[in-house]
Structure 1
């Protein structure tokens, strides 16, 4: 009986990053606040376009205006994060998102709210998000100890899942009962609190005398990724999983096929619930050293679960499969995040994060196009299970083509060891500088006395 609490604690999320890093705590709380505020606008904005136009095409056009700014500014934001203070990028983009929320709030208060500002704000939000994400992602390895990066990724995922599950539910209630303007007001308050938290972050200047952001710098990051089979494998497997097995856009048709229209909301939530379950039991992942295996097994599990979801005719089994798919995606994501943060040099981390934004944005978009086109040709359930099977096959082929990904070991990989040594040297230098400063202060006090 005495061993049971220890075994239970071993599977709970590892809170070491929370305890060891003040900046991680600030960013975690800031991110949670931002998620809730962002989901208010994310739900209210398409609903307001629907109320103004009653046109599904007009609502769908919002996705079109968001994609290009996300890609372009995501790549530029990666180069920017390597060239300037990352804290400043995060702070200014967060303030910019708050200003855009104010614009939405003011427009919603007008007697006749205008439509065109909604599209302009949507495009600007996408651009600012593209600028900000590389700075946020590339900051993690600097503020969290090297051996706590997997735990930090799990805690960040847990934060996102809390926001993804509770945020839309709360936003839907606010919009339904208090209106669009109230939802936008909550968004403004959220971004205001977030900016105040960002002001308390430690400055994060570039680790070297960086060049100004340029196409040449972006190309340098792409060449580095291409020269590292392990990194290349993480990008390729993520793209394959999203392109072949991301059927969210045809969930309404799946619910109709299963004669369970009531299940649509649960279908969209099931993946997040599965991801949350894995995050809450992620303590064991901090002891894993072969993170490439997490990427491969997680992506393959995602594909198998999506295959089963398209094959089964019972709606409850489908929902269970979608939850397992979310857990697989979470597992793969933990492996990818750990490998990126353990192996990428600090001076390139922003640009590589920008490339990750590209895969993050393009993969699901192409996946939705594939799923919709395939469903029109073969039927909804066939489009889902065949996409899952194609995902598994693609993961198998990529694993065979890039064996370095599977053999990756954090304790022996040269890039991981080099980054660990660089981090330890930086920490030792910071401690030595602090000791010298304290000694100088003591000497000054003695001499004054």
Structure 2
């Protein structure tokens, strides 16, 4: 196989100027978001020196995502997704500007900072489902997986770059300037989406309120392939998420060296970027369900083995493998959701997928911490990895449509 075929498929960037502009705007905005994530954590810690308040930052981001998400998905499926996305982008930019103002003035208590973070998360919970329809509406079906892989690789690259830049800018310019820079990046996202055509739902619009949400839930529970994809993702994150265990495992196995601890997350991200950059054969395969099952299973095996090793370089290599497998699994999950869901339901299903993708890791980190408290960090890793493999095997065995890529009766 040639190197060109192995590399990520950039056909969507060459063939669709609209997608290219959207992708560039999204990439810049994601970079600003990761810089702000570091800035918020730094500011909250600097104001309180409290781990409780630092932990509250995560709650301020996740709770609005869950509470607002499904209702926002119903709204998205009744209106012009482009207009809704632009409104949400403006809302996030305003929140970033208010964070910048308080960063420069220093007159807002820590609770006020968290309120602004939560407000920004609410707008993100609206914009995410709206953006979920862009790729399948802008690209031919055979290029959807490649477009989603491009989104994934840019997001993971910014996850590597953003925190580092955020730390540098914090040292040079302070928290206010970092928030202001994030606000400016939303202008790029707005410009990227402004040239999109109107994107109303195709088919019957969503019913208003709770009835529309219940229609989306009925689709999720009834469609075996989409349901299997979301369950597989939950199995990987809730049962085997390792991040909360890294400090403990580092102390148990690697002498507590902070340099080793810092490399753990970097190894996961490097593996994800590398795998996505070489995802050309995977996205061209046309079997996202099989790829997702294999990726989630490999994630569990790699993390279980990481819990057993004592050599730091072997451990970092296993984390890179886990990160690569997870990245391919995420690309495949999003591909399944966006190609198997009717457009009229896509906002609600994307909202549910967003909740799974955001909430699963937090629950997984909580699970890992509780199990480690009863046993040890290594035991929690090994047990979680093995449970993940068992759960993924069960989903693959009981959902042949997901494994084989065959049509289902409910489609």
TM-score, normalisation: structure 2: 0.96
**Contact between 2:292 and 2:333, CA under 8 Å: does it hold in 1?**
yes
Please show how residues 294-309 of structure 1 align to structure 2 within 5 Å: 294-309=291-306
Unaligned runs of 5+ residues in structure 2 are none
Partner of 2:225: 230
> Aligned equivalents of 2:261 and 2:215: distance in 1?
44
Partner of 1:89: 84
User: Which deviates more from structure 2 when the two are superposed, residues 113-122 or residues 318-327?
Assistant: 113-122
Matched, 1:116 2:111: yes
User: Which deviates more from structure 2 when the two are superposed, residues 231-240 or residues 202-211?
Assistant: 202-211
**Contact between 1:267 and 1:319, CA under 8 Å: does it hold in 2?**
yes
> Aligned equivalents of 1:64 and 1:341: distance in 2?
28
Partner of 2:36: 41
SS at match of 1:352: helix
User: Which deviates more from structure 2 when the two are superposed, residues 183-192 or residues 300-309?
Assistant: 183-192
Partner of 1:286: 283
> Aligned equivalents of 2:189 and 2:2: distance in 1?
37
2:264 to 249, 252, 267: 267
Partner of 1:104: 99
1:317, distance to aligned residue in structure 2 (A): 1.1
Matched, 1:386 2:386: no
- Considering only CA atoms, is the larger Rg found in Structure 1 or Structure 2? 1
**Contact between 1:77 and 1:354, CA under 8 Å: does it hold in 2?**
yes
User: Which deviates more from structure 2 when the two are superposed, residues 207-216 or residues 337-346?
Assistant: 207-216
**Contact between 1:134 and 1:351, CA under 8 Å: does it hold in 2?**
yes
SS at match of 1:241: helix
1:32 to 16, 27, 34: 27
**Contact between 2:68 and 2:122, CA under 8 Å: does it hold in 1?**
yes
1:244 to 216, 227, 239: 239
Distance 1:383 1:209, change over 3 A: closer
Unaligned runs of 5+ residues in structure 1 are 1-5, 419-449
SS at match of 1:83: coil
Partner of 1:171: 166
Partner of 2:349: 352
User: Per-residue displacement from partner, 1:384-412 (whole Å, max 9, x unpaired)?
Assistant: 11111110111112222222211214xxx
**Contact between 2:18 and 2:196, CA under 8 Å: does it hold in 1?**
yes
SS at match of 2:77: helix
SS at match of 1:203: coil
> Aligned equivalents of 2:409 and 2:6: distance in 1?
29
**Contact between 1:225 and 1:231, CA under 8 Å: does it hold in 2?**
yes
> Aligned equivalents of 1:109 and 1:138: distance in 2?
37
Partner of 2:338: 341
Partner of 1:442: none
SS at match of 2:132: helix
Partner of 1:20: 15
Matched, 1:325 2:322: yes
Distance 1:208 1:138, change over 3 A: same
TM-score, normalisation: structure 1: 0.88
1:415, distance to aligned residue in structure 2 (A): 8.2
Distance 1:392 1:414, change over 3 A: closer
The number of residue pairs the alignment matches comes to 409
2:359 to 354, 357, 362: 362
Please show how residues 108-257 of structure 1 align to structure 2 within 5 Å: 108-208=103-203, 210-257=205-252
**Contact between 2:241 and 2:361, CA under 8 Å: does it hold in 1?**
yes
> Aligned equivalents of 1:192 and 1:152: distance in 2?
22
**Contact between 2:206 and 2:345, CA under 8 Å: does it hold in 1?**
no
Partner of 1:50: 45
1:125, distance to aligned residue in structure 2 (A): 1.5
**Contact between 2:69 and 2:351, CA under 8 Å: does it hold in 1?**
yes
1:47, distance to aligned residue in structure 2 (A): 0.6
**Contact between 1:221 and 1:351, CA under 8 Å: does it hold in 2?**
yes
CA RMSD of aligned residues (A): 1.7
**Contact between 2:75 and 2:206, CA under 8 Å: does it hold in 1?**
no
User: Which deviates more from structure 2 when the two are superposed, residues 39-48 or residues 285-294?
Assistant: 285-294
